[in-house]
Structure 1
Amino acid sequence: MHHSRLSNIVIDCEVDDLAAAAEFWSRALGKPIASADQDGDGKYAELATAADEPLILLQKVDHPSRVHLDIETDDLEAEATRLEALGARRIAFRERWWVMEAPTGHRFCVVQRQREAFGTRLNAWA
């Protein structure tokens, strides 16, 4: 058995200045900036969310801006396989997560658990 849940809402930003994008989305969503440069490389920023809300990340990208979802799991391979059985397909493995595509054409990621506690809104899969 493995577990998964919606983890992150990722705002992909094709911009030169991620800090300006973080400022806009912070004000637009009413969420303070938790980190303007999460890893010190200018690629990720995070808005503050409550423990029971999905994380809101901003990601600097080199493709057109869009929004995608991350599904977090305690078993990356089992969750990717489960989603393939539903019709998704694996696009690429990136460092520590799978980029996948839904049958509808939407891209999303399957990532390792993002928070220490999964919380109450957790799906269990056999």
Structure 2
Amino acid sequence: MHHSRLCTLVIDCKVDDLAESAQFWSQALGKPIASLDQDGDGRYAELETADNEPMILLQRVDHDSRVHLDIESDDVAAEAARLEALGAKKIAFRHERWWVMEAPSGHRFCVVRRQRVQFGPHLNRWE
């Protein structure tokens, strides 16, 4: 048995500096900026969201700008396997922390380890 839920809306930005993008999305979505450099490497900025809302993360990328979803799980391998059984494809395993996957529709998304201390509400339970 494992659990999963939608955890993050990730705005992939093909830019040199995330600050301008973070300012735009902060104002567009009415969410204050929590961090312009979440991990200290200039790759991630985060907007403030309530504990019961999905996180909003901006990610500096080399591919074209797009939006993708992250699904968090207490068992990344089991969740990736469950999604594969539904027709998704595993694309890449990153940093031993998440799977990049592709839905049958061609949409990319990630299965990531648990992101917040409190793992809920809105959890799905899978046998």
Task: State the TM-score, normalized to the length of structure 2.
Answer: 0.98
SS of residue in 2 equivalent to 1:64: coil
Match of 2:108 in 1: 107
Match of 1:74 in 2: 74
Counterpart amino acid of 2:71? I
Consecutive unaligned residues of structure 2, counting only runs of 5 or more, are none
Match of 2:57 in 1: 57
Q: 1:6-51 CA deviation, whole Å, 9 max, x = no partner?
A: 0000000001120110000000000000001001110000000000
Q: Does 1:30 align with 2:12?
A: no
SS of residue in 1 equivalent to 2:62: coil
Q: Following TM superposition, by how much is the alpha carbon of 1:83 offset from its aligned partner in structure 2, in angstroms?
A: 0.1
Alpha-carbon RMSD across the aligned residues, in angstroms, is: 0.5
Q: Following TM superposition, by how much is the alpha carbon of 1:118 offset from its aligned partner in structure 2, in angstroms?
A: 1.3
**Stretches (4+) displaced over 3 A:** none
Give the fraction of aligned pairs with identical amino acids, expressed as a percent. 75
- Structure 2 Cα separation of the partners of residues 17 and 81 of structure 1: 35
Counterpart amino acid of 2:27? R
- Structure 2 Cα separation of the partners of residues 77 and 97 of structure 1: 9
Task: State the TM-score, normalized to the length of structure 1.
Answer: 0.99
